[in-house]
Amino acid sequence: MGGKDSVFRASGKGPTLLPCRAVGAHRRVSSFHSGTSRVMLEQSESETRKRGGRGLEFFRGFLRSPDQVGSVIPSSRFLERRLVQSAGITDATCVVELGPGTGGTTRALLEAMRPDASLLTIELDAQFAEMLNEIGDPRLFSHHGSAADLGSILAGHGLPQPDAVVSGIPFSTMPRAIGTAVIEAIRDHLAPGGCFVAYQFRGHVGRLGRPILGQPEVELEWLNVPPMRFYRWTRSLS
């Protein structure tokens, strides 16, 4: 029945005949979906390997300088999304990231930023700073140095006052004088209407920042290891 021009497809009600043309189309669609799934799987595996490599480098950085690295593992995707939203990255023309580490948050910021925006990263660990140079995005300016020198670093790269400053540097482990100097530098160079967002495991940045910047907005991101507090200050327009 149907001869050579039909093939069988199993169904709950018994075999069903399909014309050969329909079978060919079905095979092409199946092949397309199979190829698409394979590409998506390869991309997912590639991203997983990259995150794993960054995680290993992050842990090595923690062993090198535990007082400069806020955690033994990189930030989660959930933290990165909250950071982008909290700092208004999609509308910013100039962004500064303090303590970018291996670049997980840096990549998330670049992905959300406008094509004409600029991102300045300031990293105290030389090996981390070198890794950031490998990202290869023309909007990225990677600087090896101290966040306390924010003003001179901005000037050296010919960048304007930033609309957003985000920070993952651990204020809890640095000397109080340096932490105060960093926050004062942010206050002095943040653009009117701009914001400073610090994500921290402990509350030291809040206590340091209140006398200089005022009362922050505070949120908690549970979907990160460890959970992180977000402290957000906004500079007035005047």
Please give the pLDDT value at position 161.
98
- The partner residues of 200 in beta bridges, in order of sequence, read 229
Residue among 212, 217, 237, 238 at smallest CA distance from 229: 217
Considering the entire predicted model, what is its pTM?
0.71
Query: Lowest-confidence range among 9-18, 86-95, 127-136, 195-204?
Result: 9-18
- Determine whether domain 77-234 maps to CATH 3.40.50.150: yes
- Residue 73 binned pLDDT confidence (cut-offs 50, 70, 90): low
176-217 pLDDT per residue, tens? 999 999 999 999 999 999 999 999 989 999 999 999 999 999
Domain ranges of the chain: 77-234
pLDDT in tens, 44-63: 444 444 444 444 454 444 44
Q: Which residue has the tokens 């140095």?
A: 145
